[in-house]
Amino acid sequence: MKGQYTPYLILNDYLTTIRSDQLINQLLDYVAEGGDLERNNAEAYAISEVYSKLGSYFYLDFEFRDIKPFYFNRKYFAGDRCIINFPTWIGSSGIEGESINSSEQSYAIGDCVLYNGGIGYSNGVYTGNFQDGSTWIGYCCAQPNSDKVWNTANWTAIGTWYDIYNVPFPYPIFQLMPSPQIGVETPGVYYVNDNTCWANHTYTCIQQSIATGHQAKEQYYQISNIPPPNIFPNQKGGFNLGFGFDCGKSQWNDNGEFFFKSVLPFATNWNDPELNCGIPAWTDGYRKQWNVGDNRDPIMKEIIVAIALSHLNIRNSFMIKERAIKRDWAYRKLELIKKGEDTTLIPIIQPEQSGNISWGGMPKIINTF
């Protein structure tokens, strides 16, 4: 069973809807008095509401991944995301020549901090104002150290404060059923040696998609009985026409997990299409590079913010009407997405993934009246 709360939002997501002082000082209690718990519970409620509306139609687990500070030793799979948001760097002596609490502040390889080289910033304390044009930079420790004075040679810059990164998919996401042709390709039609991503693994096609002709389709009473042209790569049992009982292994070769670990998300050859041209993603020659940017669906973020703020407003009497207006928009939007009148970036659940989808009909038979 999954945890109740997924940290899908960050505090900055609220700023387009509510001022930070209103959120922190009016809707939430102080952190020490449960402010974070209140916000987390409201966001968990909002996400649960979306699952209750769209969970049978969209692959919401794909969208509602966490967004946490980059962690050097974590496995990041395709589609996972991280944010540059770390504690500030503190030298081993808060006051030059004196250690903090009589102990040395040390950092190991992979530790991440924020550092600002602006005027007035010293050993973890920023005493000046933010008008000097300085920027908080996220760094990852490259060499173990207990420096009393910042030494850039011991650190690698990985982005500015609040930058968001995501792991790109090395190959298109697997499709059970073909979709309309895009350019020279038809997604969902696979040939030998084509590659795809599915369930955190990469797969190579070893038997091409099997197209069912019109005459063969006429032999089935229901459309849902017609076997799809592909098999889910990780399917373990059952029978599919033309592929036999071995299922996924009959059409796909599993190349193993695709993930980033100890790969720093800094700006080197971002999104260079030629960088890995022709190099298989499961080999050591494939250069892993993060995408800079937020891969969360913008509409879904607004929906979660609107529902969470409306839920928090129950604790207060002011602004209830205004928040209720945005909440009602969120629920209307969910219904429109559910009906297919509005679209979203979240993948649709493929029919064989869920038993809750009603779909089907009878095959069209030509020259029959």
| Lowest-confidence segment of 61-65, 74-78, 118-122, 267-271 by average pLDDT | 267-271
The three-state secondary structure class of 304 is: helix
Asked if 227 and 241 count as a contact pair (C-beta separation under 8 A), the reply is yes
pLDDT value of residue 354? 47
| Lowest-confidence segment of 255-259, 307-311, 312-316, 319-323 by average pLDDT | 319-323
β-pairing, 155-160 with 259-260? unpaired
Q: How many CB atoms lie within 10 A of CB 267?
A: 13
Q: Is the model's pTM score more than 0.85?
A: no
Is pLDDT at 151 greater than 70 in this prediction? yes
Query: What is the distance between the alpha carbons of residues 45 and 56, in angstroms, rounded to a whole number?
Result: 18
Q: How many CB atoms lie within 10 A of CB 254?
A: 16
Query: What is the distance between the alpha carbons of residues 213 and 216, in angstroms, rounded to a whole number?
Result: 5
Domain ranges, ordered by start, for the chain: 86-161
Q: How many CB atoms lie within 10 A of CB 171?
A: 18
The three-state secondary structure class of 130 is: helix
Arithmetic mean of pLDDT, 41-55: 92
* 349 vs 82 pLDDT, higher one: 82
The three-state secondary structure class of 88 is: strand
Average pLDDT of the residues of the chain:
82
From the list 134, 89, 126, the residue with the least C-alpha distance to 111 is 89
Q: Tell me the C-alpha to C-alpha distance, in Å, between residue 207 and each of 97, 194, 268, 289, 343.
A: 69, 10, 37, 30, 33
pLDDT value of residue 2? 54
pLDDT bracket for residue 97 (50, 70, 90): very low
* 215 vs 325 pLDDT, higher one: 325
